[in-house]
A and B are shown apart, each in its own frame.
Chain A
Amino acid sequence: MSAVVTEAPETTTQPGLREGAFGNATSLSCRECGHLVALGPFYACPECFGPLEITYEFPQVTREEIEAGPRNIWRYKALLPVPTDIETSPNTEPGFTRLLEAKNLAAELGIAKLWVKDDSTNPTNSFKDRVVACALSAARELGATTFACPSTGNLANAVAAAGARAGIKTVVFIPSNLETPKQVNSAIFTENLVAVDGNYDDVNKLASEIAGEEEGWAFVNVNVRPYYAEGSKTLGYEIAEQLGWRLPDQVVIPVASGSQLTKVDKAFQELIKLGLVEDKAYRIFGAQATGCGPVATAYKAGTDAIRPVKPDTIAKSLAIGNPADGIYVLDIARRTGGSVEEVTDDEIREGIVLLARTEGIFTETAGGTTTAVTKKLVETGQLDPSLETVIINTGHGLKTLDSISGQVGPAATIAPSYDAFKATGL
């Protein structure tokens, strides 16, 4: 994979790629300056370093065509940068996860109508399977021989599993101090788990440097990031389809880099433009942890300037101190009448327990953040409790057991006798 583009391309796809390699995608364009780059293994604008975004020319797409598709993200393949024969390549077939009406949580929070989009039921138990499936397709089409990522958890699991299923070499880089269970969750799928002496930012930096030097390496969230990120749109498509082809009034989404929130908004806008849902107003809220809340801080300060922070929170999957899409999250929250809110680690733990005790959903710390932020948004009058609201649960609580294990446990330890049981008052 070459990685040098210096000027706007005459063609929209790199030479050597097969026709339709990226479906209805037409080019990459810079979100900052609009500079156009040919579809290829590129992620940063050669003019201003801004993030590159996929642009499309969509054909007419109908609800019926989508509904006739498989019960996974490929039912939306016409709206993704993937070839029309994507289902024939082995992949983890993520998506079409359940949208649960959360009546108990709604009653607890005083919200009239509340849904949980539960992405903990994906193949490796987080939303990352969606984005990785799109990255895997791009890696294949670009002729990559190694599928890689820097990660602290969910992404590593998804990349290692998808690579195993696809039969492509995977290399996963993690901080060396990562807890053993998280290492096992990835190492079970790959022989090539590399522990780096440093924190996540150090691992991320190393990945960027390797991506710039090594031929044939596709780092899912580095040099194929534009394709990878598009996978998050399927969350937005599914929410709309599962609501009966309509948009919710309000959505609460966790924010790390901010990519997922921007892609859900992009999905809603695309559905409106394609006539698949009625055009209506919706509000998008971002959820962060106080220990890593640079976007929430900027939102509250009324500024566009996001000051990077050194993360210090139990919500490791949200611990990105310099969020690349943060500025766009601010734009969307302000444009739609939403906001970006933050909660403390204690509130995150309470959020995890609240969702579990009301709806039987065991979420990871990111979902605890989203639940706790939703509660705070209601309490502070930012979220309208009379409107239909969807919250996104991005991953399973078994992945972050360490964060909650001190919070829950036996209500009593008793002798094996009926009297002892009666004494508990249970």
Chain B
Amino acid sequence: MSVRVRIPTILRTYTGGDSEVTAEGATLAEVLDNLDASFAGIKGRILDEDGKLRRFVNVYVNNDDVRFEQDLATPTPDGAEVSVIPAVAGGC
């Protein structure tokens, strides 16, 4: 399963400045492992010490927030787009 991963600016030091890279994996967890094999250390920026998504990072698979799907077990079908985005918000 080959997926496209959108990299936020603050993690592009790991990808040589690339804003999009490809990775392999049938689930988000596998994609992050594969990403870390190519860009050592990047997974540790997205996941906390307990291996969970950091509180202030949002990850989307094909525009769906994985927190409303299956978190790290969310399937990543061939050709899927994974986006990693720092949490921001409007409102009061």
User: Complex Cα distance A322/B89, Å?
Assistant: 8
Of the candidates A45, A318, A319, the one having the most CB atoms from chain B within 10 angstroms of its own CB is A45
User: Complex Cα distance A401/B19, Å?
Assistant: 42
Q: A3-B9, A212-B8 are in contact. List 4 more A-B contacts (CB 8 A).
A: A4-B10, A48-B54, A209-B85, A257-B89
**A6 within 8 A of partner (CB):** yes
**A44 within 8 A of partner (CB):** yes
Given contact pairs A44-B56, A208-B86, A318 touches B91 in the complex (Cβ within 8 A): yes
Docked-complex contact B88 and A366, CB < 8 angstroms: no
Docked-complex contact A204 and B92, CB < 8 angstroms: no
Smallest distance from the beta carbon of B74 to chain A beta carbons, Å? 14
Specify which of A6, A45, A256 is in contact with B91 (CB 8 Å cutoff): A256
Closest to A222 in B: B88
Specify which of B57, B68, B88 is in contact with A225 (CB 8 Å cutoff): B88
Docked-complex contact B92 and A205, CB < 8 angstroms: no
User: Complex Cα distance A42/B88, Å?
Assistant: 12
Describe A's contact surface by its main secondary structure: loop
User: What are 22 A-B pairs at a CB distance below 8 A?
Assistant: A6-B13, A32-B55, A44-B86, A48-B54, A49-B55, A49-B57, A50-B56, A149-B90, A155-B90, A198-B63, A205-B58, A205-B83, A212-B9, A258-B92, A260-B92, A308-B67, A308-B68, A322-B89, A324-B56, A324-B87, A325-B89, A366-B92
Docked-complex contact B89 and A259, CB < 8 angstroms: yes
Docked-complex contact A204 and B90, CB < 8 angstroms: yes
Specify which of B8, B48, B88 is in contact with A204 (CB 8 Å cutoff): B88
Docked-complex contact A205 and B90, CB < 8 angstroms: no
Closest to A31 in B: B56
**A368 within 8 A of partner (CB):** no
B residues less than 8 Å from A48 (CB atoms): 45, 48, 54, 56
Describe B's contact surface by its main secondary structure: loop
**A254 within 8 A of partner (CB):** yes
Chain B, interface residues (CB within 8 Å), range: 20 to 34
Docked-complex contact A327 and B55, CB < 8 angstroms: yes
User: Complex Cα distance A167/B54, Å?
Assistant: 39
Specify which of A152, A213, A317 is in contact with B92 (CB 8 Å cutoff): A317
B residues less than 8 Å from A327 (CB atoms): 55
**B65 within 8 A of partner (CB):** yes
Smallest distance from the beta carbon of B17 to chain A beta carbons, Å? 8
Interface residues of B in 1-34 (CB under 8 A from A): 6, 8-10, 12-13, 17, 19
Closest to A212 in B: B9
**A357 within 8 A of partner (CB):** no
Q: Which residues of A contact B (CB under 8 A)?
A: 3-6, 32, 42-51, 127, 149-152, 155, 198, 200-202, 204-205, 208-209, 212-213, 221-222, 225, 253-261, 308, 310, 317-320, 322-325, 327, 366, 394
Docked-complex contact B9 and A322, CB < 8 angstroms: no
Specify which of A50, A310, A322 is in contact with B58 (CB 8 Å cutoff): A322
The 9 closest A-B pairs by CB, nearest first: A256-B91, A257-B89, A44-B86, A49-B56, A3-B9, A260-B92, A324-B89, A256-B92, A49-B57
B residues less than 8 Å from A6 (CB atoms): 13
Interface membership of chain B positions 41-82, coded 1 if the CB is closer than 8 angstroms to chain A and 0 otherwise: 000010010000011111010010101100000000000000
Docked-complex contact A317 and B91, CB < 8 angstroms: yes
Closest to B10 in A: A46
Given contact pairs A32-B56, A51-B56, A318 touches B92 in the complex (Cβ within 8 A): yes
User: Complex Cα distance A419/B42, Å?
Assistant: 80
User: Complex Cα distance A253/B91, Å?
Assistant: 12
Smallest distance from the beta carbon of B65 to chain A beta carbons, Å? 7
Smallest distance from the beta carbon of A226 to chain B beta carbons, Å? 11
Docked-complex contact B91 and A205, CB < 8 angstroms: no
Given contact pairs A44-B8, A213-B19, A49 touches B88 in the complex (Cβ within 8 A): no
A residues less than 8 Å from B92 (CB atoms): 127, 253-261, 317-318, 366, 394
Smallest distance from the beta carbon of B54 to chain A beta carbons, Å? 5
B residues less than 8 Å from A221 (CB atoms): 88-90
A residues less than 8 Å from B63 (CB atoms): 198, 202, 205
Of the candidates A32, A201, A253, A394, the one having the most CB atoms from chain B within 10 angstroms of its own CB is A201
B residues less than 8 Å from A50 (CB atoms): 55-56
Of the candidates B17, B48, B54, B86, the one having the most CB atoms from chain A within 10 angstroms of its own CB is B86
User: Complex Cα distance A47/B86, Å?
Assistant: 12
User: Complex Cα distance A206/B57, Å?
Assistant: 15
User: Complex Cα distance A50/B45, Å?
Assistant: 11
User: Complex Cα distance A260/B65, Å?
Assistant: 25
Docked-complex contact B89 and A256, CB < 8 angstroms: yes
